[in-house]
Amino acid sequence: MFKFFRYHFAIFVILGLILVSYPSRAAMEDEFVELTEKAHDIKAKKTRFKGTWLTVPIPVSNPTVGSGLQAAILYLHPKASDNPEVPNSTSGIGGMYTDSESWFAGGFHDGSWKEGKIRYRAAIVSAGLKLDYYAPGIKEDASVPYTLNSDAVFGQMLGRLPNTKNWYMGLRYAYSSSDLNFNISNLVEIPAITGTLVTSSLGLMTNYDSRNNNYYPTSGHYFEAVFSRDDESWGSDFSFDKLTSFYNYYVPLSNKSTLALQARYASASGDIPFYLLPYLQMRGFPAGKYKDDVAMTGHLEWRYKFHPRWGFVTFYELGSAENTFDDLFKTDTITSYGGGIRWQVSEDKKLNLGVDVAVSNDDYTLYVQIGERY
């Protein structure tokens, strides 16, 4: 393990700049769970409108929520335009239950209008999760179990900016009503918030998207930044500001090989509940283990297709979550690495089912996912 984030990040930036000279997404931003084990019984049937239905039961077994089963029904809408830059539309419903008595159920739709000039996303989720609380800034494994029962809705709409090809701007809104309860513990100081908590977030966002495909991009750039505020004026129990951003770059190394890079940055200030703090969105440890007022990560992934519908990936990730931006460069970083297999479940839609193995500083995990990590 390298000792300083500055050293890791410098290597990552230099590598990224070298790759930029080479010729050449998101359901909801914050996941409720990460998926594991291998997938089975994938069934796809094409309708007479050339849309595709996918029924996906997936075993789940990870340190975040325990072991169980998730099932999803996805509809990959027919391509609405011959223009390859118009994104694919996707709808879906899904649910999960595990042996920790964690569960969720919900649905979403991701679509566009007017040849992709207007893009929108909406989701509704109900969940009851049995999780572990790790205090911000504490690197040890000491944790406190807690229960989070939550109902949430999410929506965003973006419009293409005039006289531009790939720049979009719009609004995002997220609402949640959650019941939070901690188990009593003398090992870790727990937050002084319990009971029913309401968050209501209104945000301004901008987006740049030049990817050649939103399911499996092999070239282009994807950038997004969202500045949001929770306030009592629009129904929140909290008052805080939050900035989330990421930048993806896809480098086609050959007709079978792609290098995908991502940098993420998030910060928060004010009276923010711990479960909405910026956290390290990395593989290899429980989601939410590393969180604080500021979080930054870098991701590097090589994707190779050895068959029209089969491929594999290898990846390296690093990140740090601290109280201030300056502290990010004064602490040991968290790193993870691993690889996985990809299978394109539909012949005419480049949507993959993936199984990944990740090893981090202090843990290792298995993941099953629909689509790419970014």
Q: Confidence band (pLDDT; 50, 70, 90) for 141?
A: low
**Angle, CA of 58, 37 and 372, to the nearest 5°:** 75
Give CA–CA dist 368/355, Å, rounded: 5
Give CA–CA dist 213/167, Å, rounded: 16
At residue 46, the pLDDT reads: 40
Give CA–CA dist 283/245, Å, rounded: 18
**Across the strands, what pairs with 155?**
122, 173
Instruction: List all residues 6 or more positions away from 21 whose beta carbon is below 8 Å from its beta carbon.
Output: none
According to DSSP, residue 349 is labeled S
Cβ neighbours around 43 below 10 Å, total: 10
Lowest-pLDDT range of 128-142, 146-160, 295-309, 353-367: 128-142
Average pLDDT, the chain: 83
Task: Give the DSSP per-residue string, 215-227.
Answer: SS--SEEEEEEEE
At residue 263, the pLDDT reads: 98
At residue 54, the pLDDT reads: 83
Here the tokens at position 222 are 């994807």
Look at residue 8 and tell me whether its pLDDT is greater than 80. no
**H runs (alpha helix) in 133-173:** none
Size of the chain, expressed as the number of residues it contains: 374
Give CA–CA dist 208/321, Å, rounded: 26
Q: Say which amino acid occupies 228.
A: S
Give CA–CA dist 318/2, Å, rounded: 10
According to DSSP, residue 326 is labeled G
For the chain, the 3-state helix, strand and coil shares in percent, each to the nearest 5, are 5, 55, 40
Most confident of 23-37, 133-147, 318-332: 318-332
Look at residue 124 and tell me whether its pLDDT is greater than 90. yes
Mean pLDDT value across residues 227-235 = 96
| The dihedral formed by the CA atoms of 97, 102, 103 and 108, expressed in degrees to the nearest 10 | -120
Look at residue 34 and tell me whether its pLDDT is greater than 50. no
Look at residue 2 and tell me whether its pLDDT is greater than 70. no
Residue that wins the pLDDT comparison between 82 and 296: 296
Mean pLDDT value across residues 23-39 = 35
At residue 137, the pLDDT reads: 64
User: Pick from 301, 319, 311: which is nearest to 261 by CA?
Assistant: 301
- What pTM did the predictor assign? 0.78
Mean pLDDT value across residues 98-126 = 93
What are the domain boundaries of the chain? Answer: 5-370
Give CA–CA dist 1/49, Å, rounded: 52
Question: Which of helix, strand or coil describes residue 239?
Answer: coil
At residue 19, the pLDDT reads: 35
318, 333 Cβ separation under 8 angstroms: yes
The top-level CATH class assigned to 5-370 is mainly beta
User: Pick from 151, 143, 172, 148: which is nearest to 106 by CA?
Assistant: 151
User: Pick from 196, 191, 119: which is nearest to 157 by CA?
Assistant: 119
At residue 5, the pLDDT reads: 41
At residue 25, the pLDDT reads: 35
